[in-house]
Structure 1
Amino acid sequence: MTTKKYSRLKNSFICFIATTLLILNGCKTNPPNAPDDTTDLGKVFISANVLGAVIWLNGNDTGKITPDTIEAKTGMHEISLTKDLYYKSTENVEIIKDTTIDLHVTMEEILDIGKVYVTSNISGATIFLDDEDTGKLTPDTIATNSGVHQIRLQRPFYQDLSKEVTIIRDSLITLNFDLVEESLQTTVLLEDFANVSCNPCVASNQIIESLTKYTYGPEKLVAIKYPTNFPSPNDPFYLANSEDCDARMLYYNISFAPTTIVDGILYPISTDSVSVKSAIDQRLQKNPQFRIHVSDNIIGSTYFTTVTIKVENGSGINFSDLVLHTVLTETDIEFATPPGSNGETKFFDVMRVMMPSNAGESLDGISQIEEEVFNRQTEISTSWVTNKLHTIAFIQNVVTSEIYQAGSTIE
């Protein structure tokens, strides 16, 4: 807290300049999901010998069924079709700019079908068959071809559990799972305010990437990078979503870059790894009062995320002061040439959009006994790389700024 107060006094003049720049640059230059560049697109019309097969593009559900047309970037893509009681069919297709090509797929029917009734000691676990989501929850029955299969259950706050099962033709077998609750631990959130033309940000970015990836891992530490419009007002990440960036800078009264904040209340020296690590270690010592589980899914051009919260110990907390923030980030963003003057070409954990807004969602009145589930979605910009997208969710006290717990989809 001492570092924070000293910085604010010392940089009062800088704060005035930064505020002026915010006003001059406007509230929002581009919409949050605006593409950063023009992308070449093509189309493919997909049909099959059966109607209603689900169309998958590069492992992602497009939200469409046969027959239908999908649009994608030019180049090679993997298109798969799935349908109950049919084998999965996969084709590699080259998408050509401004061209619609036809793809007809012949799906093979599964004739030797058996069933398995899946139950668990905790109901509502998602059932995966051979690592694919069946869309069903325990207890339920799934049908598939005879032979050896792997069934996995996944449920918030419980350890994933897998079992191998042999499906027998024209038979129904029962498979029961005893799920074990995950140990309760703290996940610290590091928020960093940086700019592509900020020279000290090069060192701070390297420190944060090393700590998140190698020292702690996502179970203990997650990071969100908020782009600033200073020293350069032309930071491409800031311009892509100035509204959310401005809101977060205003909340913390950010006056210079880099500024690093740990769990909303500790302000270590951004370019000093020992200082940053000390702040993280301090917050890891606290007893967590919440559990957060985050999952995501992409259907077509829409990114879906589900945040599940469970109160473990609500004593001493005024829930009317709490909000849930859900943030979509993108990592490993690479440029051929530096977008700013500090020479960096690779960026990590960049905030893309805050869902449903930068104000967060009030947790006033949530159950302190039952799990609370929040579902959010946003359209995916064509400039984003889908397999580099993650959700980070955190619970923050808007009065004290303290962050009680964080969670993410980062593995």
Structure 2
Amino acid sequence: MNNLIVNWWRSQQFKLALKRGDIRRAVQLLQEIQKSGARFSWLEKLFRDKLQLERSSQKDNRQTETLSKELIEVSQQKSNLILMPDDEFVKYIYKNFNLIHHDEYKLQSTGIDERIFDDFESSLVEYLREEFSKIPDKQLFIKLEDALEDINNLKNGQDPDYRFSLTPHVYFMKYFLENVYCIYLAWFLIYQAAFLPSKVNILDIAAGPGTVAYGLALFLQSSSGFFHIPQMHISYYSLEKQDAFQFRGLQFWRRYIESRLNSVNAYFRFVTADIFTWKTQSNNLPKDFFDFIVISHCFFIDKTKRIEANNTYKQIFATSLKNSGYILIIIQDKKLFKISDVHQVENQEQEKNIVDKFLAELGLELVWYKYLTSTGSRTPLSGVEFGKFAGEKLPKQLYMSPLLQQYFAHKYKLHYTLDDYVILAINNEKLQVK
């Protein structure tokens, strides 16, 4: 009987505490009632449920607040790693390169950053002249002719033998500057899309003399004066069959890039291997390491070769690309359409289908692509028309032209031209939210 009286008295005190708004006393009394083993009245049950709901809500709020803080921290860390596009620098590039978007995919360029490329070109010519001065004239011309005949196989879609000592030098003379020009713009497009981290790991497949690294280095040089790049670091892996190309590329890099006041902090690693004898299990490429895997102009019209190369590429994508990584592809317009056995015309839908089909063969999914063109047209101009257009509109290779005229009796002045597809893709097997 005494317990019944005590429990009744607690319940009355509980009601009185609620009436007075003394929540702390009400909570204390509710705990005493629960410990006594007495049954809760409907009012006490209602108050208990209210407390539980409030506590649950507070816990959820704390969890939400904690998650929000973590999300902000991760977002800030990511933004610190990514080079966020600077509006003034983007305007500067558009102005100097005369960039015009003709449609969603076609981007015309008829300009250049002269302060960067003129210095780069003149230094390259100086390097080549010094190299040539080490060889007697009669022997030099023979070596150059042999190397020229070898490298000209590229025009016919064939792989040069690269067996001549001056093949890398002739490549420097005929193709290097234009390829760097194209890669420079590719890195700009990646930067503009906010995909370029300040610490970037790059695998360059069929790297040649390191064109991809040069394009990025020159692009970063152009940004000087617009924004500060905190602790920019490039880990660059060159996968190339010809060690002579790797050697000459690094030799000129040390001479030119590393001599700049704002030189790029770059780590070079050379893997000298043939993609047609590639052994996935025995290669020394790091796993899940690269932010970008780049393939520039190393695609084959011959179907058997193309399938074999693509299988190797897919193995490398699967093992060495980060889950968040991208594949950057550079392919000449004529080769892309010849692979598909289709004539290039002014048809965006046809072009997009061909790009998608090309990527499907590589197991890739499109992020975006741009057709970089000097003329602004998908259909080629005649030789005479293009010569007139280039002379009036395109930036000149002021220092390289005399060198080609001297050694190869080249009749025409060289210009910086574009006719390439720049394609950014992700690996289907490593899809994740970007």
Q: Which TM-score applies when normalising by structure 2?
A: 0.23
Q: Which has the higher Rg, Structure 1 or Structure 2?
A: 2
Q: Which TM-score applies when normalising by structure 1?
A: 0.24
